[in-house]
Structure 1
């Protein structure tokens, strides 16, 4: 084959792959996780949230058009024990009776590298809203894709840990949030 024929074949393949772009629109909650790590008196402590829901519209070929809305049930926290769960659900921490949910609504998504992206948006916890930016990787696997990322949340910006818990020497201000989602392609 000559160069013109190869160029035509490659161009056709590129157009065909662009025409078949896949949009991912939901996550598999049972195969997804949301973990956090913070330091209490200098010692790392792990925890997780077990109930959350996300609505998304993400086509990796058009990241600027992406939209992500995330809702987290704060009472679904697992801080390591029933006593810890009760404490962090209380008024000084998440105050889940008044503020049962945390939400995130994206305002922008941009590509950083081949399968690396960054989502920015408004995080609301306890009635306080702050801008959050989280880098993530997006790894397609047929009709699903792994979405893995992390960001640091400052609890003081959301009044998480008030009163005697406001001392950052006892519980650090920075909380590392790590997420792993298995996203589904639209049908």
Structure 2
């Protein structure tokens, strides 16, 4: 091997050894018994509240590696539950979600950024029905600790709140909004407990 080539390879090795390896953001498993996607919306003079029973997601997060962190979710539309089966059926119809044609809502993250203290934002694409929009969702890291029931696991908690204009995603044509029956702004609350092995 030529001396110059040998020196170059040794230099590359030394530089690589000198740079500390950054740990990849770990993947966390959502605890479905302690996680939820909740919403509320105005109805004339009252507030209708509900949640989606069926959702899944990929959570990769580390405050030390936001580049490798991500939050991706899929929600099964027909799993909507407002405590009234007749209303749920109407929400699943073509008047609103049209869940037969569009069975899934999704969010695919593109970046996670630190704001201050334990507050972050996740940027990504929200898809509902035939509409995809860029969305920035603020969320709070509630904490990370050893799981109380298993010393070999860690549990972390997140909470996100946002307001979504349902009409911007074609969830309803605006008829019921114009009548003053159903509002257009939906308050969304996402709470997550996630678990991983240490």
Q: Same fold (TM over 0.5)?
A: yes
Matched, 1:102 2:105: yes
Provide Cα deviations, 1:67-91, integer angstroms capped at 9, x if missing partner: 2210000000012200011000001
Matched, 1:177 2:163: no
Shift of 1:43: 2.0
Greater shift in the superposed pair: 22-31 or 132-141: 22-31
In structure 1, the partner of 2:11 is none
TM-score by length of 1: 0.83
Greater shift in the superposed pair: 81-90 or 125-134: 125-134
> Given that residues 155 and 173 in structure 1 are in contact (C-alpha distance below 8 angstroms), is that contact kept between their aligned partners in structure 2?
yes
The whole-number CA distance in structure 2 between the counterparts of 1:177 and 1:104 is 14
The whole-number CA distance in structure 1 between the counterparts of 2:45 and 2:186 is 13
| Count of aligned positions | 170
Change (3 A) 1:119 1:186: farther
In structure 1, runs of 5+ residues without a counterpart are 1-17
Shift of 1:19: 7.6
Root mean square deviation, CA, Å: 2.0
Provide Cα deviations, 1:122-145, integer angstroms capped at 9, x if missing partner: 010112101222111112122110
Greater shift in the superposed pair: 40-49 or 116-125: 40-49
Aligned to 2:67, what secondary structure does the other structure show?
Answer: helix
- Which structure has more relative contact order (CA 8 Å, sep 6+)? It is 1
Larger radius of gyration: 2
> Given that residues 26 and 184 in structure 1 are in contact (C-alpha distance below 8 angstroms), is that contact kept between their aligned partners in structure 2?
yes
> Given that residues 24 and 186 in structure 1 are in contact (C-alpha distance below 8 angstroms), is that contact kept between their aligned partners in structure 2?
no
